[in-house]
Amino acid sequence: MPEQLLTALKQIFGYSSWRDGQAEIIAAALAGRDCFVLLPTGGGKSLCYQLPALQLPKVTVVVSPLMSLMKDQVDTLQANGIAAAYVNSSLSREAVLEVLNQLRYDELKLLYVAPERLLQPQFIERLQEVGVSLFAIDEAHCVSQWGHDFRPDYMALAQLRQHFPGVPVMALTATADPATQQDIVQQLALQQPFIHRGSFDRPNIRYTVQEKFRPLEQLLAYLKQQENHSGIIYCSSRRKVDELTAQLQEKGFKAAAYHAGHDATHRQQVQDAFKRDDLALIVATVAFGMGVDKPNIRFVVHFELPRTIEAYYQETGRAGRDGVAAEALLLFDPADIGRMKRWLQTEENNLRAEVTWQRFLSMAAFAEAQTCRRLVLLNYFGEARQQPCGNCDICLNPPQRFDGTELAQKALSCVYRVNQNFGLHHVIEVLRGSQSQKVLDLGHDKLSTWGLGKELSHDYWLSIFRQLIHHGLLQQDISHHSVLRLLPVARPILRGEQRLQLAVPRLQSAPKMASSKL
């Protein structure tokens, strides 16, 4: 069996070996098991359903939210002689009928569909008539309200199970924290799925965060060290992109702007010039990057705080695809946090606003972290790690450290005493011996940990708790009002079997310059 699959890999796809997880995932899919696949972008997820699709008797239906990627994949498959087609709202009625005909005559191995199309009754009926071998749900995090990219159309995919009992489902995603992962498995009703979680580590990327004082000067100083290497500079608005591009051009840099306000021709030109190395710098909004496959991007700068760790990870992940050393620089202004909060208060949907806020706070916490950046990232994605990386600003230029075991014990036992049912600020209130109405009402002033930490300020504790989260001892449950939960690694510390080094909190924020604007 594996031999035959390897032959198929070589002959059909032209690859000589498997990437991490592919062989196991494909074997499980062919054995008819549900699968949950978590692999970073570029990890080779498509192959996990494309290869089984060719071996299975009936059609494999791939659900994807991204129309352009759908077309690209189908074009590539067809160019390789594989019977594939797609159906989405960009197709004419005739084209859709043509695809349905191909389906009827069993001429398709792979059918890509947008979720809203898949769930139309006629479509379901047609698929039931011809029979489906496998459903692959790409970008599966879109199904979760806790995910960073929830799409209502995806939610209805839960019905697939009723329409197609016994047809295995493979859920694939590149970005999912533990809460989202669980939710995907639940929403799609995966039955004892085969689970593969690939590593999200990108060891050749060096993560650095600088507090933002005079952003343009800081950026220019940074770019001067980069000589003429390729880089992307991300900003949060089109206006900022245009402004910064002009400033960089004025200083003699070969830079171009890229955002969704430009027409397709301009965007293509910029992208091509960048790819050919005619253009060193792209200043862009999040619109830039999807499907950009340039291996020698040496650095990615975030001029403003990204909205989520997922976005930060994706965007920085565009650097160093060739495996050669690359850098990710984030310029961080703590005031961005307040700005985001005000912006969110204008949002309508409360649950979404809450989730967005919590995700943003995780991003802010990353920027404020006193812990190895890579540890923070990987623990956020649920990839338990304890060894600092040696290739980030914190590892290379470490903050002052002290034995934080006792503080950690106080903090962790307080989380335990409140039944792992409260968030950061409440637990700190209890530790600091607050007599607030909430503390009194809950009887938390009677807990043995009440007042244990009253000699330290709220901010000091906040820094300690953030470090415990970043070290993977505590987790904030995004699906549950961000309540703090203890993770198994906390146990030896609570029992006094292991000691813990923490960073002395850097509370004094550096002097604010008169103008933090450009």
Part in contact with ligand ADP (CB under 6 A); list of ranges 13-21, 211-219, 370-378, 466-474: 13-21
- What part of residues 37-96 is at the interface with ligand ADP (CB under 6 A)? 39, 41-47
Q: Which amino acid is at 511?
A: P
Instruction: Write down the least CB distance from residue 124 to Zn ion, Å.
Output: 49
Residues 18-47 that bind ligand ADP (CB under 6 A): 18-19, 22, 39, 41-47
Q: Which C-beta is closer to Zn ion: that of 444 or that of 466?
A: 466
Question: Of 19 and 117, which CB lies nearer to ligand ADP in the complex structure?
Answer: 19
Q: Is 206 in the site for ligand ADP (CB under 6 A)?
A: no
Distance CA 77, CA 84 (A): 6
Select from Zn ion, ligand ADP, none the partner in contact with residue 389, using the beta carbon and a kind-dependent cut-off of 5 to 8 Å. Zn ion
User: Which of ligand ADP, Zn ion, none interacts with 47 (beta carbon under 5 to 8 A by kind)?
Assistant: ligand ADP
Binding residues for ligand ADP, how many (CB under 6 A)? 12
Cβ neighbours of 278 (radius 10 Å): 10
Query: CB 360: neighbour CB atoms within 10 A?
Result: 21
- Is the separation of the CB atoms in 100 and 175 below 8 Å? no
75: which 2 tokens? 């074009």
Assigned token pair, 279? 């253009």
Pick from 332, 340, 367: which is nearest to 356 by CA? 340
Contact partner at residue 19 from ligand ADP, Zn ion, none, CB < 5 to 8 Å by partner kind: ligand ADP
Tell me the two tokens of residue 350: 């409360």
Among Zn ion, ligand ADP, none, what does residue 395 contact (CB within 5–8 Å per kind)?
Zn ion
Write 352-356 long-range contacts (CB < 8 A, 24+). 352/145, 352/150, 355/145, 355/146, 355/148, 355/150, 355/478, 356/307
Strands (E), 39-142: 59-63, 84-87, 110-113, 132-137
**Residue 188 near which of ligand ADP, Zn ion, none (CB within 5-8 Å, type-dependent):** none
Which of 389, 411, 427, 473 forms a contact with Zn ion (CB under 5 A)? 389
Alpha helices in 193-327 (DSSP H): 215-225, 238-250, 264-275, 309-316
Interacting span for Zn ion (CB under 5 A) from 160-168, 366-374, 401-409, 453-461:
366-374
Q: Which does 372 bind (CB under 5 to 8 A by kind): ligand ADP, Zn ion, none?
A: Zn ion
Task: Say if strands 132-137 and 110-113 run parallel, antiparallel, or are unpaired.
Answer: unpaired
Query: Within a 10 A sphere around the Cβ of 65, how many other Cβ atoms?
Result: 18
Listed ranges 137-145, 191-199, 305-313, 390-398: which one lies at the site for Zn ion (CB under 5 A): 390-398
Give whichever of 21 and 404 is closer to ligand ADP, judged by the CB atom: 21
- Residue 323 or 398 with smaller CB distance to ligand ADP: 323
**CA-derived radius of gyration, the chain:** 25
Tell me the closest approach of the beta carbon of residue 9 to ligand ADP, in angstroms: 6
**CA pair distance 143, 157, nearest whole angstrom:** 8
Cα angle 454, 458, 463 (rounded to 5 degrees) comes to 115
Using CB under 5 A as the criterion, which residues of the chain lie in contact with Zn ion when the complex forms? 372, 374, 388-389, 392, 395
Residues that bind ligand ADP (CB under 6 A): 15, 18-19, 22, 39, 41-47
